[in-house]
Amino acid sequence: MKNTIVTAVLVLVALFTCEIGFAQELTLDKEVHDYGTIKQGANGECVFVVKNTGSAPLIISNCKGSCGCTVPQCDKAPIAPGGTQEIKVKYDTKRVGPINKSVTITSNATNTPTKMIRIKGNVLAKEPIAPAK
């Protein structure tokens, strides 16, 4: 009985150690990009930088915008420990008004397998062109 308990404890310690020793961890340079006030038709692109602060390869399996006006681009190549990768997000600035959208990142990260980043701001309508006199 004593040997069974000791063996069980050793197995649990070994599993816990292995889990920590080979973790993928996702960190971001920012969680929100604020465009501020921009004009209709302006460049709606921004970049978020993902870093693998773990000790095993990090794989981003999916990036999904909250609507069709917010389009993320994620590279699905593994990110080595200590490595970085960009997530590019493009917002359709033809739409006038406040921006409050999100992108959901899905990965094999042990600390946050699903992470949400946001974009915000306000798009002002272009000034109408005055007719020629």
113 domain-assigned: yes
pLDDT classification of 17: cutoffs 50, 70, 90? very low
45 domain-assigned: yes
In the chain, the N- to C-terminal Cα span, in Å, equals 99
130 domain-assigned: no
Q: How far apart are CA 8 and CA 10, in angstroms?
A: 5
Domain that holds residue 13: 2-124
pLDDT classification of 5: cutoffs 50, 70, 90? low
Strands 60-65 and 97-107: antiparallel
Instruction: Count up the domains in the chain and report the number.
Output: 1
Which tokens belong to 81?
């420990």
Average pLDDT value for the chain: 86
Which tokens belong to 76?
């699905």
Q: How far apart are CA 37 and CA 15, in angstroms?
A: 51
Q: What pLDDT digit, counting tens, does each position of 112-127 carry?
A: 999 999 999 999 998 7
Q: What pLDDT digit, counting tens, does each position of 75-113 carry?
A: 999 999 999 999 999 999 999 999 999 999 999 999 999
132 domain-assigned: no
Q: Give the count of beta carbons closer than 10 Å to the beta carbon of residue 14.
A: 10
40 domain-assigned: yes
Domain CATH for 119: 2.60.40.10
